[in-house]
Structure formats: C-alpha cells, structure tokens
Amino acid sequence: MEDIVAMPTQERKASITAVLRNKRFRALWLSLFVSGIGDWLVIGLLIPLVTTLSGGSAFAVGGIMIAKIIPALLFSSLIGVFVDRFDRRRLMIGCDIARAALTLILLFTNSLALIYLTVLLMEMASLFFLPARNALIPRLVAEEEVAVANGLSYTTQQASMLIGLTMSGAILAGFEALVHVVLDSGWPIVDALVGPFAPALLGPRAGVILNSMTFGVSALLLWSIRMDVRPDRDVGRLDLSLIGRDVLESFRFLGEHRELRGLLVTIGLALLGGGSIITVGLVYVQEILSGGVPILSGFPALERLIAAPQTFVLVLLALGMVMGALLVPKLADRVTLQALFLGAVTTFGFALLVFASIGVYWVSLVFGIVAGFCIACLTVAGNTYVVRTVSDDIRGRVFTAMESVIRVSLLLSMVVIAPIGDALARLMRNVTGGAEAGSWLTGPRVTLQLASLIVLGAAYYAYRTLEWRSDGAVNGAEVSDV
C-alpha cells in the first residue's frame, strides 16, 4: 500500500491507461458503465410511477427499496458460494439477459405487486452479477493492476449513477429523437419491425425499453471477452443453511460488545429515521412541486432534461456523498473520529428537521447535498473507527454486523416509517377537511419531523455511549474478542 501511495502521479496515470488498454477489461468496464446508467434510468422512472399509481403513498414508494433490500438480506451468504461454482463471465451474461427480459415486464403493467416482484427478481440477478464481476477482475488484469481496476470499477458505479439520474431526461429525449429519425425514414422494414412498438418507444415508459437495451449491450460486451473463467477448484456441496446466517451471527456478536453496540445502534437509529428521505421525503418533494419546479420554470428546455424533478434530490444526495468522500479524510486529520461521527449524525438530524419544516424546493436541494455529505462522514468515520479500535481477528465480523444493521434499518424504515407517513397523511386530511395539500400541516411533513427526532436521538445515544478516547490511545484499548 505504501508503494502505491508513494507512486508518482504519472506512473499512476500510466497504470490506469494500461488497464484501459486491456481489451478484456475495457469490455467489462464499458458493460458496467452502460448497464449502470440503465439501472438508474429505471429507478428514476419507477419512483414517480409508483407514487402516481399509489396516490402518493410513501409505503408504496418504500416498496421499491424493500424489494431491493430483501434479497441481499437473505441470500448474501449463499451468493458467493454459488458464484464460485460457475464461469463468472457466462453467469454475468445470464444475469444481464435476465434483467433485460424482466425490465420489459414494466411496459405492460400498472400493478404495484408485479412491479415489486420485477424489482425483486432484478435485484436477485444483480446479487449474482456484482460478486461475479469482483471475482472476474483479477482474471482479466495483471496482479499489480488489480487495485487500479477495482478503483475504476467503483468509480464507474458512481459515475453511472450520477449520469443516469442527472441526465435521465436528456438521455430519454435523445432516444426518442433517434426513434423519430428511424420512423420518419420511410423504409418498409422499419414500419414492419418498429412501427408496432412506436407507442412504447415514444411514450412515458420509453426508459424501460432503453433500460432493457442497456442490459443487452452489456451482455454483448461481456460475450466479447473470450476466455475461460471457471473456478480453479471444486468448492464442495452447496449449503442452503447459509441463507440469512450472517445476519443472525452478526446480531449475536453485536450483543456481546458494548462500545461496538453503541456505534452500530447509532448507525441503525440514524438510518431508521434517515431512510424516510427515500420514501416519505420524495412524496413530500412532490407536494412541494405541485406548482412546478420554481428554479426551472423559466427554462422549459432545461426542465425537460429532468425526467422526474423529485428524484433530482437523489442526484444532489449522491453529489453530497462524493464531496464527503473527498473531504472527510482531511477532516479526520483535524478532529477526532468520535466528534466527526457524532457531528455527522447531529447535522443530519437538524438538516432533516429544517427540510421537513420549510416547504421550498431549493431547500430540499440544499438538504440533498448536506444529507449526502453527512452520510459520507458517518460511513467513513464509522469504518475508520472500527479499523482503529477493533483487533484484526474480529474485524470481519464487525463489518458484517455493520452491513446487516444498515440493511435491517433501511428495511425497517420502509416498513415502519413509510406506513406511519401514510397514516398521518390520512389523519391530516381529516383534520384539514381534505385540504392537506394547501396546508402547512401535512402527513409527509409531520412524519419527516418525527424521523428527524429519531436521528437526533441517535446522536444523543452516540454521545452517551462512545468511548471518547484520543486517537493516540486507540492501540492500547482495542476491542478484542473477549
């Protein structure tokens, strides 16, 4: 690691260039980029679609995230063993083909249940795809290039998310313009093959077609990697008892260590309240946008580039996370990790309270950046805190417990906070005589305010339970498996 850090800038750039010159890795890299953009295009489509179909139900929006979380929560232990049994390239191609076919279901349904089932099955395919990708990379590049290749892979994920969300409207507009050019060509074969599908290709769900096409392109790129990447050895019998085992073992371990329990309970409570920004928060933003996007109202051409204005908050959330990832390491050199961790949770809680109390669109945009930055602070500070305070022999179990806490907390936020938001929305409509939309007292607003109190409660809990030792004393006070 020291050699990599000390490597001159020109040599690091040369390493990246050398990796991208590798034809096989370049095909993998392009496949990740294309399918990643498609992934976020369909998320940008589904959130407003489900919001509309459900009549603004926060729990219905949360159903998308529930469908995405459950597979990882139950099957993450089993997936790795399964991936080690097959040719990783062919497995990834199969996953892309499955996701392309599943995406097309969204063209023909307005059923929330079928939408959730489709998302769940697509997430199952993604569960196989991601570890297969991670296992494939070392087979495509030289040993000394693995770190650079992994870095490019991670960066590609973030870039595709930002492009897919930020430029969703522009991408769809470009796709529709291309379809118009093809349809207006007057070629008989075009009328025969494309004509019947014109309503889907030009309609509000054109993103579904485009998303399916990205998975098809990804599969073709992976198919171009001609090499045998089957496992080198037999991994033995498939053990179905692994299902969900890591979650149970993680929480059992969590109960045995007070300080780590304080850290992870804080993360869990913060995400329980903070997860409301994905479900209740987007419904709340849609309420704010009932009169249109004030910032873009004078620029209709620019407004068209954003397919779903309420999901634009997610773009700024991602931007805040990127900013946090860049700045937090510098902050960690100036303040203690405990202060950084506690400050992130506290700021997140107060920012959520302000966001919920001021129904102005530009406030929600600022909140998106602040929330993303706080999430990055919380994640980086929490991970570093574990690395510095936990002995190496149990560190893996602690990180496993942290992942389990994150998944369970997000799941609980969807199945607890979101229904509370719907119930309060009905209550507020009764209180205001059905005029909730024009009232300051709305269900989403009150729910988000209550969620902010949960986050602030997590901050107080962290203040009372974390060991406020100096970083220099960490090595003498490592948490061990006793």
Per-residue pLDDT of the chain (482 residues; tens, 9 = 90+): 334 333 443 434 446 777 788 888 889 889 988 888 877 777 777 877 887 888 877 778 778 878 888 887 777 666 666 666 777 888 889 999 999 999 888 888 888 889 999 989 988 888 788 778 777 877 888 777 776 777 677 667 767 776 776 666 667 777 777 777 776 766 666 566 565 555 556 666 777 888 888 899 999 999 998 776 665 555 455 555 555 565 566 566 666 677 777 888 888 899 889 888 877 887 788 777 655 555 555 555 555 555 456 666 777 787 887 787 777 777 777 888 788 889 999 999 999 999 888 877 778 888 888 998 898 888 778 877 777 766 665 666 666 667 777 777 888 887 888 788 888 878 877 776 655 545 567 788 888 899 999 999 999 998 888 776 554 433 334 444 44
- Note the pLDDT of residue 148: 73
User: Are 160 and 282 contained in the same domain?
Assistant: no
User: Are 283 and 396 contained in the same domain?
Assistant: yes
User: Are 161 and 266 contained in the same domain?
Assistant: no
Taking the model in full, what pTM does it have?
0.65
- Separation CA 153–CA 159 (nearest Å): 10
User: Are 118 and 29 contained in the same domain?
Assistant: yes
Q: Report if residue 1 sits inside a domain.
A: no
User: Are 299 and 179 contained in the same domain?
Assistant: no
User: Are 196 and 306 contained in the same domain?
Assistant: no
Domain count, the chain: 2
Contact 452, 348 (CB under 8 A): no
- Separation CA 30–CA 432 (nearest Å): 53
- Note the pLDDT of residue 475: 39
- In terms of Cα–Cα distance, which of 222, 14, 25 is closest to 137? 25
Q: Tell me, what amino acid is at 30? A: L
Q: Report if residue 182 sits inside a domain.
A: yes
Q: Report if residue 167 sits inside a domain.
A: yes
**DSSP H helices in 111-223:** 112-140, 146-166, 168-183, 188-193, 198-202, 206-223
- Note the pLDDT of residue 76: 67
Instruction: Report the 10 Å Cβ neighbour count for 120.
Output: 18
CATH of the domain at 206: 1.20.1250.20
User: Are 113 and 163 contained in the same domain?
Assistant: yes
Q: Report if residue 476 sits inside a domain.
A: no
User: Are 144 and 292 contained in the same domain?
Assistant: no
Can you give the residue range of the structural domain that contains 80? 8-229
User: Are 212 and 250 contained in the same domain?
Assistant: no
Q: Tell me, what amino acid is at 454? A: I
Q: Report if residue 471 sits inside a domain.
A: no
- Note the pLDDT of residue 220: 94
Q: Report if residue 235 sits inside a domain.
A: no
User: Are 223 and 255 contained in the same domain?
Assistant: no
User: Are 361 and 426 contained in the same domain?
Assistant: yes
Instruction: Report the 10 Å Cβ neighbour count for 366.
Output: 15
Q: Single out the residue in 171, 203, 229 at which a domain terminates.
A: 229
- Separation CA 273–CA 287 (nearest Å): 20
User: Are 214 and 307 contained in the same domain?
Assistant: no
